[in-house]
Amino acid sequence: EGVQPQDYVLIKMEVLPPFTSKFKILEGKKVYLAAATLRPETMYGQTNAWVLPDGKYGAFEINENDVFIITQRAALNLAYQKMSRVPEKPTCLLELSGHDLIGLPLRSPLAFNEIIYSLPMLTILTDKGTGIVTSVPSDSPDDYMALQDLKSKPALRSKFGVKDEWVLPYEVIPIINIPEFGDKSAEKVCLDLKIRSQNDKDKLAEAKKLTYLKGFTDGIMLVDDFKGMKVQEAKPMIRNKLLESGDAVMYSE
Ligand code: A2H
């Protein structure tokens, strides 16, 4: 835990019914993978969600209607931020592992892709955010490399039971221009730095620094009503749009 509180936007990625096997007991409820992000303005470019295969997750009651799939740790924090059906007490309807979540079909707010899937990422930290990450390979080097790994390695897909159709049709979507890096900044920086996989930690840290800062200071939106606007200006507007529509909530830790 850092000294400074971190304010995340939690994106409500809806799990699409019908619910099968373990998930049957959630029938009739609105169930979401709740992904913590610092970049709400990038949600147009989502291609999938990320989960940690060996991570422990649960389906927690947030209010009368909504159920969030997140880590126990995040559920406890949320309960102290008025996001639990029972105040200050997380109630878990179903315990899940990351493996159970792989392949869930999702509908996520603002995403140009109508349906995206939950896929394995091996570098997710369970002590940060919700343990669920939404994937925007155009602007996040981690997301770009993890998706590349799955696309280029059939053995990795089969190890985790990932079907080709959950991964191969999903292309990088240009949503933000950074003059120095173009319309797919994460891809460009990963190629320039010759990053080989999602486990190439040092180089990925470098890539993240380059794109994160430049994206904020120099980025220009390419999509929706925000086309032509600076990322700095569009970011709070898109965050508020997501909060007002009920497609996201704020979460701090
Ligand atoms: B960001 P910070 Cl487009 N483990 O969202 C690993 N990574 C996690 C995580 C976890 N438990 N929880 C959240 N994250 C990711 C979008 C994005 C993000 C873009 C570009 C950069 C970027 C789409 N993925 O983050 O350590 C989430 O990915 C670069 C910093 O709290 C979240 O925002 O600073 C970010 O890391 C939070 O990282």
Q: What is the DSSP string of 145-190?
A: HHHHHHHH-HHHHHHTT--GGGTTT------EEBTTTBS-HHHHHH
Residue nearest to atom 32 of ligand 1 (CA): 37
Amino acid at 16: L
Q: Is the pLDDT of residue 196 over 80?
A: yes
In total, how many domains does the chain have? 1
Tell me the β-bridge partners of 230.
220
The rounded distance, in Å, linking the Cα atoms of 249 and 16 is: 20
Region 149-170: mean pLDDT is 98
Confidence of residue 148 (pLDDT cuts 50, 70, 90): very high
Asked if residue 88 belongs to a domain, the reply is yes
Residue nearest to atom 26 of ligand 1 (CA): 128
Q: Is the pLDDT of residue 1 over 60?
A: no
* Residue 117 confidence (pLDDT): 99
Residue 2 CB partners (closer than 8 Å, separation 6+) = none
* Residue 133 confidence (pLDDT): 98
Ligand 1 nearest atom to the CA of residue 46, by list position:
23
Ligand 1 nearest atom to the CA of residue 126, by list position:
11
Asked if residue 70 belongs to a domain, the reply is yes
The verdict on ipTM greater than 0.90 is yes
Q: Is the pLDDT of residue 114 over 90?
A: yes
Query: What is the domain range of residue 76?
Result: 7-252
Do the Cβ atoms of 141 and 211 come closer than 8 Å?
yes
Count other Cβ atoms within 10 Å, centred on residue 38: 13
Do the Cβ atoms of 86 and 69 come closer than 8 Å?
no
Asked if residue 2 belongs to a domain, the reply is no
Asked if residue 1 belongs to a domain, the reply is no
Q: Mean pLDDT for the chain?
A: 97
Ligand 1: distance of its center to the CA of 37 in Å?
A: 5
* Angle between helix 185-192 and helix 141-152 axes, rounded to 10 deg: 70
Single out the residue of 40, 44, 34 nearest to residue 12, CA to CA.
34
Region 224-245: mean pLDDT is 98
Asked if residue 25 belongs to a domain, the reply is yes
Region 184-202: mean pLDDT is 98
Asked if residue 32 belongs to a domain, the reply is yes
Structural tokens at position 75: 């559920």
Single out the residue of 58, 62, 61, 87 nearest to residue 73, CA to CA.
58
Ligand 1: distance of its center to the CA of 140 in Å?
A: 8
Confidence of residue 3 (pLDDT cuts 50, 70, 90): confident
Ligand 1: distance of its center to the CA of 204 in Å?
A: 12
Confidence of residue 2 (pLDDT cuts 50, 70, 90): low
**DSSP result, the chain:** --SS--EEEEEEEEEPSPP-GGGGGGTTSEEEEEEEES-GGGGGG--EEEE-TT-EEEEEE-SSSEEEEE-HHHHHHHHTTT-SSBTTB--EEEEEEHHHHTT-EEE-TT-SSS-EEEEE-TT--TTSTTS-EEE-TTT-HHHHHHHHHHHH-HHHHHHTT--GGGTTT------EEBTTTBS-HHHHHHHHTT--STT-HHHHHHHHHHHHHHHHHH-EE-SGGGTT-BHHHHHHHHHHHHHHTTSEEEEE-
From the CA atom positions of the chain, what is the Rg in Å?
17
CATH number of the domain encompassing residue 94? 3.90.740.10
Q: Is the pLDDT of residue 102 over 80?
A: yes
Confidence of residue 151 (pLDDT cuts 50, 70, 90): very high
Pocket of ligand 1 (CB under 6 A): 6, 36-39, 42, 124-125, 128-129, 131, 133-136, 139-140, 143, 208, 212
By most ligand atoms within 8 Å of CB, the mutation choice from 1, 6, 33, 39 for ligand 1 is: 39
Ligand 1: distance of its center to the CA of 47 in Å?
A: 15
* Residue 4 confidence (pLDDT): 85
Confidence of residue 47 (pLDDT cuts 50, 70, 90): very high
Q: Is the pLDDT of residue 31 over 90?
A: yes
Confidence of residue 211 (pLDDT cuts 50, 70, 90): very high
